[in-house]
Chain A
């Protein structure tokens, strides 16, 4: 078997749907029916998961460390809010896509800044863009509502038939549907030759360029796509909560997002999803212990994760599931987090 077909074979095997993945999505859907009183928090988790998946696309697959991913989230959130508030596009799904496209345009424009320079410059530029947008949103308070945020947003029914209810049931299933569709697309993208070339770039940009991968163009493409995803997540935020305030741009949002992804693990798409669940549960736990100072514990979790080492932590977390799989199926475990974290 030649090397090329060997790689292709493994890539294809990896891209196939595993039993565990199907079980995961069935479980997610089941949650919607099992906990009918928890729609609001579950919607929140779904939004966060989508947002984290967007960061995973650039961090886990392309190795771009961003401290300002909230910029796209914010643009999506405000676009969706403004579209609904002024009745420009009343239909939520259409508005969602338009908001995503708005973030995408920003992502495309700023990607040229991001691909220049090394890690540090990227950190600064992404952070700077988010801060810049926050300052802009504050400055043009006649459009954005300033520190009060956009108020009085009323959402029209989805497709003109499914109305948003006060328990958040529609919102939850709407968010789940969006998440699943975008997940399918992301899965397709990262398992395509394009996705493989991104991993090559992440591992060694110089070598990737040497074997003929157009590094910069690939990075621009994935950054733009990730911006689109983040914009959708932001738009979902506005549509399901009916508010958009300045804190959508905040640094804390970007920092929390990194924590979500780090908890879940980068580079296999499910990291953001699992991380979002764990993060929200942790946050709930901490805010019941010390309501005002939960940030302290979040910080502690970050420090501990880094000091223990992310790979080691994921090995520990997967030890029991892998043991079970080994015993039951009698073969080597299939669940594994990719070792090469950014």
Chain B
């Protein structure tokens, strides 16, 4: 019984992490209809920045996390202004090719500068180990992830639903022409959203170094996971990808624990079945227009 609860807890933490990693993609892919397979590269950038700051420069972990967010967002806004914005109107094939190219470049570049082996971030003592909570083993680090990601999710939902920026974004997505006619600076809204999504990915990358493992192949290894979250979750709201991430996280952890031999088999089968059953995602009206 307790092992089930522990697994559930780990799965929730894993799912929350996936959500933070992928929700930027939910915006670019779902809302802006841009197939960005290079999303994991931004996560990797954040992770490596955090690793360098903590391990090499001796920054405290919690100060390095916002820096990971900022640096990934900065890279995101730079690339968006110089490269991505030319491709919004292009075909999906072009977008796929472009972002695969970027992914390959990022993998090789990180490999060149950082070496190909897996890196670890030195965590503060307060985050290590686990404690018992009514007999359920709870990892401190995972608890922190759940808290951070939970707060982020609530904040995102509020931003999207309640603020002026949120309504601008939704308007820009629904009908860019009408929105710009109403005086909304659509490219600016998109650029900001893109950068924010990249920043979240960077933060997720920094947090995931401990759980998912951080190496130069990160963008390729987890690309499919991000895509699963978005396509299965749909994109009409934040809730869809959130629930999809939780489902994926719990499913993956449980799958690896109870049927270790089947490995990633469970996840892929689940995804294909869901996509056949509901091609537009479990919770979405339309995954892509």
A residues touching B (Cβ–Cβ < 8 Å)?
Answer: 59, 65, 67, 113, 116-121, 123-125, 127-129, 131-132, 135-136, 138-139, 251-252, 255, 258-259, 262, 292-296, 298-303, 305-307, 310, 341-342
Contact A124 B231 (CB under 8 A): yes
Stretch from B10-18, B52-60, B99-107, B154-162 that touches the partner: B99-107
Q: Which residues of B are found within 8 Å of A119, using beta-carbon distances?
A: 35, 92, 288
B262: interface (CB < 8 Å): yes
Measured in the bound complex, the distance between the Cα atoms of B97 and A341 in whole Å is 13
Q: Which residues of A are found within 8 Å of B265, using beta-carbon distances?
A: 132, 135-136, 139
Output the least CB separation between A290 and chain B (Å): 8
B88: interface (CB < 8 Å): no
Q: Which residues of B are found within 8 Å of A252, using beta-carbon distances?
A: 220
By Cβ-Cβ distance, the 3 closest A-B pairs, closest first, are: A302-B101, A299-B104, A296-B108
Write the B160-188 contact mask toward A (1 if CB under 8 angstroms, else 0).
00000000000000000000000000000
By beta carbon, the residue of chain B nearest A118 is: B288
Measured in the bound complex, the distance between the Cα atoms of B271 and A124 in whole Å is 9
Measured in the bound complex, the distance between the Cα atoms of B144 and A312 in whole Å is 51
- Across the interface, B101 reaches (CB within 8 A) one of A128, A131, A299, namely A299
Contact B105 A139 (CB under 8 A): no
Write the B104-143 contact mask toward A (1 if CB under 8 angstroms, else 0).
1111110110000000000000000000000000000000
Measured in the bound complex, the distance between the Cα atoms of B104 and A118 in whole Å is 25
Output the least CB separation between A55 and chain B (Å): 11
Contact A296 B97 (CB under 8 A): no
Q: Which residues of B are found within 8 Å of A118, using beta-carbon distances?
A: 279, 287-288
Contact A125 B101 (CB under 8 A): no
Q: Which residues of A are found within 8 Å of B213, using beta-carbon distances?
A: none
Contact B93 A127 (CB under 8 A): no
Per the 8 Å Cβ criterion, residues 238-276 of B in contact with A are 261-265, 268-269, 271-272, 275-276
Contact B111 A293 (CB under 8 A): yes
Contact B87 A139 (CB under 8 A): no
Q: How many residues of B contact A (CB 8 A)?
A: 46
Contact A121 B93 (CB under 8 A): no
Interface centre among A124, A125, A138, A298 (most CB of B within 10 A): A124
Q: Which residues of B are found within 8 Å of A301, using beta-carbon distances?
A: 101
Measured in the bound complex, the distance between the Cα atoms of B112 and A65 in whole Å is 31
By beta carbon, the residue of chain A nearest B108 is: A296
- Across the interface, A299 reaches (CB within 8 A) one of B94, B105, B276, B279, namely B105
B29: interface (CB < 8 Å): yes
- Across the interface, A302 reaches (CB within 8 A) one of B98, B227, B275, namely B98
Contact A131 B279 (CB under 8 A): no
Output the least CB separation between A23 and chain B (Å): 30
- Across the interface, B83 reaches (CB within 8 A) one of A128, A129, A307, namely A307
Q: Which residues of B are found within 8 Å of A129, using beta-carbon distances?
A: 272
- Across the interface, B102 reaches (CB within 8 A) one of A127, A303, A305, namely A303
Please name 14 further chain A to chain B contacts, defined as beta carbons within 8 Å, in addition to the given A131-B268, A251-B223, A302-B98, sorted by A numbering.
Answer: A65-B93, A113-B276, A116-B275, A119-B92, A124-B271, A127-B224, A128-B268, A135-B264, A252-B220, A258-B97, A259-B97, A301-B101, A305-B101, A306-B94
Q: Which residues of A are found within 8 Å of B100, using beta-carbon distances?
A: 255, 258, 299, 302
Output the least CB separation between A112 and chain B (Å): 8
Q: Which residues of B are found within 8 Å of A117, using beta-carbon distances?
A: 275, 279-280, 287
Q: Which residues of B are found within 8 Å of A259, using beta-carbon distances?
A: 97
Output the least CB separation between A113 and chain B (Å): 6
Output the least CB separation between B12 and chain A (Å): 24
- Across the interface, B108 reaches (CB within 8 A) one of A65, A116, A299, namely A299
Measured in the bound complex, the distance between the Cα atoms of B103 and A22 in whole Å is 39
Contact A120 B231 (CB under 8 A): yes
Measured in the bound complex, the distance between the Cα atoms of B288 and A126 in whole Å is 17
B8: interface (CB < 8 Å): no
Contact B276 A67 (CB under 8 A): no
By beta carbon, the residue of chain B nearest A250 is: B220
Measured in the bound complex, the distance between the Cα atoms of B37 and A127 in whole Å is 12
Output the least CB separation between B215 and chain A (Å): 15
Contact B105 A296 (CB under 8 A): yes
Interface centre among B86, B220, B275 (most CB of A within 10 A): B275
Contact B101 A306 (CB under 8 A): yes
- Across the interface, B272 reaches (CB within 8 A) one of A113, A262, A295, A299, namely A113
Measured in the bound complex, the distance between the Cα atoms of B36 and A233 in whole Å is 30
Q: Which residues of B are found within 8 Å of A127, using beta-carbon distances?
A: 224, 227
Measured in the bound complex, the distance between the Cα atoms of B220 and A119 in whole Å is 20
B91: interface (CB < 8 Å): yes
Measured in the bound complex, the distance between the Cα atoms of B100 and A136 in whole Å is 25
Measured in the bound complex, the distance between the Cα atoms of B100 and A296 in whole Å is 11
Q: Which residues of B are found within 8 Å of A139, using beta-carbon distances?
A: 261-263, 265
Contact B35 A128 (CB under 8 A): no
Contact B275 A306 (CB under 8 A): no
Q: Which residues of B are found within 8 Å of A251, using beta-carbon distances?
A: 220, 223
B96: interface (CB < 8 Å): yes
Assess A295 versus B107: contact at CB under 8 Å? Given A65-B96, A118-B288: yes
Q: Which residues of A are found within 8 Å of B279, using beta-carbon distances?
A: 116-118, 121
Measured in the bound complex, the distance between the Cα atoms of B98 and A138 in whole Å is 30
